[in-house]
Structures are given as structure tokens and as C-alpha cells.
Structure 1
Amino acid sequence: MALRVQFENNNEVGVFSKLTNKYCLVGFGATETFYSVFEAELSDIIPVVHASVADCRIIGRLTAGLLPHIIETEEIIHDVLKVEVFRRDVADQHLVGSYSVLSNQGALVHPKTSSQSQDELSALLQVPVVAGSVNRGSDVVGAGMVVNDWCAFCGLDTTSTELSVIESIFRITDAGPEAVRTTMKPSLIDTLA
């Protein structure tokens, strides 16, 4: 299910949270509303944790580790994740994390990404890729939403059409907590063991 939520009147959900298949980090806020939406949807499946980095609430933008300049990013990713690494841009934008959102089910990229680039990305990632927006046309989709394999959270300004595209590309329309428990939880447990 894709849900609309705001962080203190801000629709940039991806700036204040980080969602994975194993955990969810949520920045501290003046109210518990933002956190409680994540907790209500996810706490039966994965831990939802209040977090900050250096007393900053923008947890979604500060959760990437800093790398030494002498080591290539591709080398570290390849060594740790044991996957092939490609250097790409999205719609001529080099901030790939700001202009795309990925899960094991699909990818949403900058609305001006060409069909050819979408096809190339789809072949590289082995998931369907579609160009789209969040929060009434915002092209910064990485800041406007977070997603894992069964749930997505978007800003309150996200239109019904945008929400429909998100649910479709990430295949989360019918994925509820029960579906996660029966189909995904065993594999999550295997990876943690």
C-alpha cells in the first residue's frame, strides 16, 4: 500500500526517513504523527526507529556513509554487496539518489528520463523502470518518497495519478502485512540468520 504522509508540513518524506526491507529510520520531529504512520504500517514486520545523525532530522539524506577519496565507490559496493556496479546518471542528473527511487520490484525515475534510458536502466537493474513524479509534479522523487518491497510513503501533495503509478511500478497494490508475513518474512529471516 502507498500512503501519503507529511513531516511537519513538509512533503519531502525521503529527506526525513529511510526505508529498507529490514528496518525503517525516521527523523525526530516536534510531533509523533510522522513516526506513528510508519509504526502503524511497519512495526509488525520490521523495526521502526527514531534516529538522528549529529542531531539532524534529515536522516534520509545523511544515512549514506562517507568514503575515503583513495577508494573508488564502485570497488567498495562490489566488495561488500558482491554485485556488478555501473556508473549512470538519470535524465542528465548526477544525483541519482535524488532523482530515482528503487526497490526489488521496480524503479521510479525523473520524469524527463528518455525511453531509451529507461530501457537501459531496466536492463541493468532487472526491474521495470518508469518515469514519473511525486508531490504534484516534483521531479525529485528520491526526496519525495520512500519505498521497500511492500510499502511506499509519499508526501501529502502526491496526486491520485502519481499514487497509482507508484503502486503499479512497485507492485504494492495488494501487498499488505499478511502477504509480507507469508511470502517475504521467511526470506528475511534466512538473510538475517
Structure 2
Amino acid sequence: MANRILYDHVGVYSKLTNAYCLVAIDASENFYSAYEAELADVIPVVKTSIAGTSIIGRLCAGNKNGLLLPYNTTDQGCLQHLKHSLLCSAKSQLLTGETEEIIADVLGVEVFRHTISDKMLVGSYCVLSNRGALAHPHTSIKAMDEFATLLQVPVSAGTVNRGSEVTGAGLTVNDWTAFCGWDTTATELYVIEAAFQLKQAQPGAFMDVMRKSLIESYV
């Protein structure tokens, strides 16, 4: 299901994956509690800062395999805290001409260079999970078909927070739940839940698969 939080820019101050959730260390207690109430029984919810700032959702990329941080994340205490809390690799990287290789190595995924509706900030204008993607509302049907072929998941176009095109700032998702800004309308919620197939999703099934994967990786 999709959860509304009494805040608009949830994707700026949090990062949600199937294995963990990061929340800005100086976020309000109500903001943190909204995540903890939904997720604490399933995955760790960790308060942190990245590179000394609270805009953690815009400064990292992560999944169950690892977490990619900006090169100026030099606080070793922060890095060790994240590695210990998340039980995954947390790496600080300067993205250069080998950007694709770095991302593929840390996150264990295929990487493609693309734009979203002619916009370069793909993380701001598209939100992605293993079950679907929500792109900029002006993304053409042809482009969505191309994305769906690349990503191997259904791609929809939509908005958050009563018409905001910056979906990555107002929405964060994993394979069974989503959090969006309080101003997100009922129609936008419907599109989000359909795009990421959230009504059919249950965390238990995903966690069983993840636990099996972790066990196999240590055997």
C-alpha cells in the first residue's frame, strides 16, 4: 500500500529499499515514526546523515546488495554505522567516466544511460522498483515502452503532491510499500499503487526470498 506522510519531500529525506530504510537524522519524530510503524518489524529503519547533510534521499542510491554514497562522504564513523546497521557494502565513490561500472559493481544491477522526458536527472523524475516504475507525466508512450523493455517492468507516467512532476522528491518505494507526500491526491495514490502493484504485494514473501539469498551468499 502507499502511505501518506505529513511532509511533501519524503524522497529527499529518506531512502527506502527492500532491505533497509534510511531517514534523515534531524527529521521530525513524526516523520521517522511513520516509517518505523510500517517497517520496523520487517527491515531496519536507520537515522543517518550523508556528507554532513540531511538530504540523504538525493545523495545515495541503494538496494539489498549495497549503498552508493557521494565521494565527499569522508566521515568513517558514518560509513561504519551504515555498514553495521544495514549489513551490506556502503561505498563512497567519485562518479567518473566509469560511472556505469561503479554502479553495477556496488549494486549488482545492469546500468543504462538515459533521460526522462528529456531531463537528465533521472533519479528526480523517475521512481523504480522491481515491480514497476513511475516516470515524469510528460513521458511519451513510446518512451515508456522503451523504458519497460530496458527495465523489464511496467512503466507508468504520473505525479505526486498534487501535480508535482518531480516524483523522486515526493515518493519513495520498495517492492511492497510506498511513502509519499501528504498533498498527494487520491487519484495520484491510485496511480502509484497500480504502477508498483502494491495492493498485491506482501512483505513476508519478499523477505523469505531475501533471507534465502543472504544464507546462500554466506554458505
2:152 equivalent to 1:126 = yes
What displacement does 1:28 show? 2.5
- 1:152-167 alignment to 2 at 5 Å? 152-167=178-193
Correspondence for 1:33: 30
Correspondence for 2:3: 3
Segments of structure 1 that go 5 or more residues without pairing to the other structure are none
- In structure 2, distance between residues paired with 1:147 and 1:69: 24
1:35-58: CA deviations, max 9, x gaps? 001000001110001111244211
1:73-124: CA deviations, max 9, x gaps? 1122334455432210000000000000000000000001111000000000
Amino acid at match of 1:188: M
2:12 equivalent to 1:52 = no
Correspondence for 2:39: 42
- Secondary structure of 1:188's partner? helix
Contact 1:16 1:58 in 2 (8 A): yes
How large is the RMSD of aligned CA atoms in angstroms? 1.6
Q: Which residue among 13, 16, 33 is the counterpart of 1:16? A: 13
Contact 2:124 2:167 in 1 (8 A): yes
- In structure 2, distance between residues paired with 1:95 and 1:162: 22
Contact 1:6 1:12 in 2 (8 A): no
What displacement does 1:59 show? 1.2
Amino acid at match of 1:47: P
Where relative contact order (Cα < 8 A, 6+ residues apart) is larger, the structure is 1
- In structure 2, distance between residues paired with 1:77 and 1:31: 31
- Seen in structure 2, the aligned counterparts of structure 1 residues 166 and 192 have a Cα distance that, compared at 3 Å, is same
2:183 equivalent to 1:186 = no
Amino acid at match of 2:13: F
- In structure 1, distance between residues paired with 2:159 and 2:96: 36
- Seen in structure 2, the aligned counterparts of structure 1 residues 81 and 24 have a Cα distance that, compared at 3 Å, is closer
Normalized per residue, the structure richer in strand is: 2
- In structure 2, distance between residues paired with 1:37 and 1:88: 33
- In structure 2, distance between residues paired with 1:124 and 1:118: 10
- In structure 2, distance between residues paired with 1:69 and 1:161: 38
Q: How much identity, in percent, do the aligned residues show?
A: 58
What displacement does 1:63 show? 2.0
Contact 2:95 2:102 in 1 (8 A): no
- 1:99-178 alignment to 2 at 5 Å? 99-175=125-201
- In structure 2, distance between residues paired with 1:130 and 1:160: 17
- In structure 1, distance between residues paired with 2:130 and 2:58: 21
Moved >6 Å (runs of 4+): none
